[in-house]
Amino acid sequence: LTDSKKATLVVGNARNRAGDAIELVIAEGIIAAMGPGAGSETADDVPRFDAGGGLLCQPFIDGHVHLDKTLIGLPFVPHIPGDTIAARIEAEKRIRRQTSGPIQARGGGLIEQIVAYGTLALRSHVDIDTEIRLKGLEAVLSLKESHGHLVEIQTVAFPQSGVIRDPGTADLLDAAIAAGADLVGGLDPAGIDNDIEGHLDVIFGIASKHGVGLDIHLHDGGALGAFELRQIAMRARAFGLEGRVAVSHAFCLGELDDADFGRTAEALAGAGVAIMTTGPGPVPMPPVKRLSAHGISVFCGSDNIRDAWSPFGNGDMLERAGIVCDRQNFRSDADLEEAFALVTDAPAEALGLSYALQVGAKADFLILPAASIAEAVAARPMDRAVFKNGVLVARGGRLVGAGA
Ligand SMILES: [Zn+2]
């Protein structure tokens, strides 16, 4: 440590993933030193945090949320039934028109909740349609300012009501990217817009024009969904967007015959298309290990949290990893570590972020009361200490100090 970089905190009595004792020295929000006894050289007046023998690990990343949709903070809103995506879209619009709580308050409440669980970065899809236009995006972009000390936010301009089906949306998506959205979204080119080429040509055209990536919601099942995945992969290559396209849900990957799965996986891998899964309920889900074996990046997100689509969800990514384990029958330590990567390393790669724990990196990390990653996934402990830029922002599921 040089004099110009004065240590601000020493984290002692922690353990790394191998179980070895480790200390961290933090200066100016950066990990300045790391290793056994790393804190022994620092002055006595530097504050110390006793990790209590807990596990040091990187923070969680939520690869798919909807900050603009959540109803958190409002009196409980009963779920409006509706089995189809189209019915759900209409139900959401009814609720949206009657909701008085501003997006800044609801989305801010959700951020505070998920940061307390240990999530320090997220990708939020934000509805863009001809009724709400860019209002939701403007609200979520304002959360980047108000909550930037807690979380890193990436935004996707999401055509929740379709592009072809809701004329005028294409221009709004284009305006959304110009206004600061990070990626272009999409939604069921067949199931919602009934025009696979029309939908994909519009969203890839906008992404290409602005030089941004895409993250497309795809619920369409079976061979139809697989065909759409291959169409997406083909465009990712044609537009030079390899490695910058994700497809969220892609339930169809869990219900294909071997031949269809093989050619679809090959297309996705060749175009570097990543797959986001929540470990969803009573629908097929993308087979995580089979996709990984093909070189396809799979990452996790919460998706709907207490909104018009679902009364459930809490944003706890450790719980999300456990849900995926249940759905994929993951039981061994290696399996549980793979599930942990779905909420840490994999979304970091898909979102183009770095949360590596190394000297010189930003001091964003967690201390979990567990002896191993596998135990953390299995036991899902709540007594987590959450550090953002080297500052303790949450403990035991509540924001504290500078985070509160
Ligand atoms: Zn979603």
Report residue 181 CA to chain centroid gap: 16
Residue 86 DSSP label: H
What is the DSSP pairing of strand 55-57 with strand 365-368? antiparallel
How far from 291 is each of 107, 286, 320, CA to CA, in Å?
32, 8, 19
**How many angstroms separate the alpha carbon of residue 21 from the centre of ligand 1?**
40
What pLDDT score does 117 carry? 98
**How many angstroms separate the alpha carbon of residue 333 from the centre of ligand 1?**
30
What pLDDT score does 145 carry? 96
**How many angstroms separate the alpha carbon of residue 105 from the centre of ligand 1?**
20
Which residues lie closer than 8 Å to 55 by C-beta, 6 or more apart?
Answer: 14, 15, 16, 17, 367, 368, 369, 370, 371, 372, 373, 376
Q: Which residue has the tokens 């990708």?
A: 123
What pLDDT score does 1 carry? 53
Confidence of residue 99 (pLDDT cuts 50, 70, 90): confident
**How many angstroms separate the alpha carbon of residue 352 from the centre of ligand 1?**
19
**How many angstroms separate the alpha carbon of residue 158 from the centre of ligand 1?**
9
Alpha-carbon distance 225 to 165, whole Å? 19
Alpha-carbon distance 68 to 89, whole Å? 14
pLDDT at 152 over 60: yes
**How many angstroms separate the alpha carbon of residue 265 from the centre of ligand 1?**
22
**How many angstroms separate the alpha carbon of residue 125 from the centre of ligand 1?**
7
How far from 403 is each of 66, 170, 224, 338, 400, CA to CA, in Å?
22, 38, 46, 30, 5
Residue 58 DSSP label: P
Alpha-carbon distance 272 to 260, whole Å? 18
Radius of gyration of the chain (CA): 21
240 CB burial (10 A radius; 0-12, 13-18, 19+): exposed
Residue 253 DSSP label: G
What pLDDT score does 216 carry? 98
Per-residue pLDDT reduced to its tens digit, 343-376 = 999 999 999 999 999 999 999 999 999 999 999 9
Six token digits for residue 37? 């006894």
What pLDDT score does 271 carry? 98
**How many angstroms separate the alpha carbon of residue 30 from the centre of ligand 1?**
33
**How many angstroms separate the alpha carbon of residue 381 from the centre of ligand 1?**
27
What sign does the dihedral 139-141-146-151 (CA atoms) show? Answer: positive
**How many angstroms separate the alpha carbon of residue 359 from the centre of ligand 1?**
35
Least confident of 37-51, 169-183, 246-260: 37-51
What pLDDT score does 82 carry? 86
Confidence of residue 100 (pLDDT cuts 50, 70, 90): confident
**How many angstroms separate the alpha carbon of residue 221 from the centre of ligand 1?**
16
Per-residue pLDDT reduced to its tens digit, 261-276 = 999 999 999 999 999 9
Per-residue pLDDT reduced to its tens digit, 157-166 = 999 999 999 9
**How many angstroms separate the alpha carbon of residue 65 from the centre of ligand 1?**
6
Percent of the chain with pLDDT over 90: 93
Confidence of residue 81 (pLDDT cuts 50, 70, 90): confident
Ordered strands of the 183-187 beta sheet: 60-65, 119-127, 152-158, 183-187, 213-218, 245-249, 274-277, 298-300
**By three-state DSSP, how is residue 185 classified?**
strand
Are 166 and 159 in contact, with CB atoms under 8 Å apart?
Answer: yes
pLDDT at 2 over 90: no
Alpha-carbon distance 198 to 385, whole Å? 48
Amino acid at 207: A
**How many angstroms separate the alpha carbon of residue 63 from the centre of ligand 1?**
10
Taking residues 376-381, report their average pLDDT: 97
What pLDDT score does 384 carry? 97
Expressed in percent and rounded to 5, the helix, strand and coil fractions of the chain are: 35, 20, 40
Alpha-carbon distance 310 to 313, whole Å? 7
**How many angstroms separate the alpha carbon of residue 364 from the centre of ligand 1?**
26
What pLDDT score does 342 carry? 98
State the chain's mean pLDDT as an integer. 96
**How many angstroms separate the alpha carbon of residue 293 from the centre of ligand 1?**
26
Nearest to 286 by CA among 340, 225, 245: 225
**How many angstroms separate the alpha carbon of residue 107 from the centre of ligand 1?**
15
Q: Does the pTM of the predicted model rise above 0.95?
A: yes
**How many angstroms separate the alpha carbon of residue 108 from the centre of ligand 1?**
18
Report residue 126 CA to chain centroid gap: 13
pLDDT at 403 over 90: no
**How many angstroms separate the alpha carbon of residue 388 from the centre of ligand 1?**
26
**How many angstroms separate the alpha carbon of residue 217 from the centre of ligand 1?**
6
**How many angstroms separate the alpha carbon of residue 278 from the centre of ligand 1?**
10
What is the DSSP pairing of strand 7-15 with strand 48-50? parallel
Six token digits for residue 282? 């009573």
**How many angstroms separate the alpha carbon of residue 398 from the centre of ligand 1?**
26
**How many angstroms separate the alpha carbon of residue 20 from the centre of ligand 1?**
39
Are 166 and 201 in contact, with CB atoms under 8 Å apart?
Answer: no
What pLDDT score does 402 carry? 79
Taking residues 287-301, report their average pLDDT: 98
What pLDDT score does 146 carry? 97
